[in-house]
């Protein structure tokens, strides 16, 4: 297992916030993951870094990182069964599925996440979610340090929520997905269409971590931000995107605290105007 001291996390979070951690661990095997949890008791778990806000410039902490590592995958193109480790990105997984002529992951082509993160958040778009193709998950239960498996029907999936988000002492190791055979050209066309639609609406040209807030019942976050004239609202190097009010961007060397301060102000104004308590979708570390 690779271990690096005073590790720069800038390229390991999608906001591209400059931050350093005391020590970073990069497991390559399931054995590495189990060994880490048995030996290291104080740490921060960081997946692909796409749905997080690093609030500190320096962490006197160990970080367990799944990003470019722990990503083995096997795909049976005849049955459509995919077995993949939690660290693989959904981008890579969707491309591998396309290469095998398997459909079901097209919407994840441009959703930045690891497989593990996608399951925890029940990631998705356009009415499709990871739960639609997931069969089961293998995980490490930190309560008794044993390996267990759980089927989809027992994961209590909800909108951007799951068994694993409610039980943070369960660490996803691997997932099994069931995909369907389809023409490669049709698969690619859907992948590119979804990507283009997102780029047309979202501020992909600036570092960001996707939608900041969960959609409140009866409202759309973007419309609320528009009504409050908050597009372009800036604190430090962070700004609410002029392209889509549901996104905060790093437009000038933002610190994590800049982003958190914007979130605090938006929540205050939305509560004051609409009596709605916006729920943050991103994880603050």
Question: pTM value?
Answer: 0.84
Q: Rounded to an integer, what distance in angstroms lies between the CA atom of residue 129 and that of residue 251?
A: 30
Token duo for residue 270: 């939305």
Instruction: Classify the phi-psi angles of 163: left when phi > 0, otherwise alpha if psi is within -120 to 50, otherwise beta.
Output: alpha
User: Each residue's pLDDT tens digit in the chain (285 positions)?
Assistant: 999 999 999 999 999 999 999 999 999 999 999 999 999 988 998 988 888 999 999 999 999 998 889 999 999 999 999 999 999 999 999 999 999 999 999 999 887 788 998 999 888 887 889 999 999 999 999 999 999 999 999 998 888 888 998 888 899 999 999 999 999 999 999 999 988 888 888 898 999 998 899 889 899 999 999 999 999 999 999 999 999 999 999 999 999 999 999 999 999 999 999 999 999 988 899
The dihedral sign for the CA sequence 154, 114, 64, 22: negative
Confidence (pLDDT) at 132: 95
Q: Rounded to an integer, what distance in angstroms lies between the CA atom of residue 12 and that of residue 47?
A: 9
Closest CA to 61 of 99, 105, 16, 9: 9
Cite the active site residues: 160, 211, 281
Confidence (pLDDT) at 194: 86
The CA distances from residue 198 to 98, 103, 201, in Å, are: 19, 20, 5
The CA distances from residue 193 to 22, 185, 196, in Å, are: 42, 12, 5
What does DSSP assign to residue 188?
A: H
The backbone torsions φ and ψ at residue 69, rounded to the nearest 5 degrees and listed phi first, read: -140, 170
Domains present along the chain, CATH in parentheses: 2-65 (3.30.43.10), 73-200 (3.30.465.10), 221-284 (3.90.78.10)
Confidence (pLDDT) at 272: 96
């Amino acid at each position: 297992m690779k271990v690096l001291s005073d590790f720069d996390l800038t390229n390991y979070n999608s906001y591209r916030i400059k931050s350093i951690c005391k020590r970073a661990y990069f497991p390559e095997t399931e054995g590495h993951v189990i060994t880490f949890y048995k030996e290291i008791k104080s740490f921060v778990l960081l997946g692909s870094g796409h749905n997080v806000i690093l609030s500190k410039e320096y962490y006197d902490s160990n970080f367990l990182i799944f990003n470019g590592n722990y990503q083995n995958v096997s795909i049976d193109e005849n049955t459509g069964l995919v077995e993949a480790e939690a660290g693989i990105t959904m981008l890579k997984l969707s491309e591998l599925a396309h290469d095998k002529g398997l459909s079901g992951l097209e919407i994840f082509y441009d959703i930045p996440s690891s497989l593990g993160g996608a399951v925890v958040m029940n990631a998705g778009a356009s009415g499709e979610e990871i739960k639609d193709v997931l069969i089961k998950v293998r995980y490490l239960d930190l309560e008794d340090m044993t390996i267990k498996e759980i089927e989809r029907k027992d994961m209590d999936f909800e909108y951007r929520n799951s068994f694993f988000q409610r039980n943070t002492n369960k660490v996803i190791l691997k997932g099994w997905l069931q995909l369907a055979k389809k023409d490669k050209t049709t698969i690619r066309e859907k992948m590119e269409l979804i990507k283009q639609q997102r780029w047309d609406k979202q501020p992909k040209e600036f570092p960001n971590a996707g939608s900041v807030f969960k959609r409140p019942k009866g409202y759309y976050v973007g419309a609320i931000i528009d009504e409050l004239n908050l597009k372009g609202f800036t604190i430090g190097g962070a700004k609410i995107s002029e392209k889509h009010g549901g996104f905060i961007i790093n437009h000038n060397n933002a610190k994590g605290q800049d982003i958190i301060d914007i979130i605090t102000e938006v929540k205050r104004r939305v509560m004051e105007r609409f009596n709605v308590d916006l729920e943050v979708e991103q994880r603050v570390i």
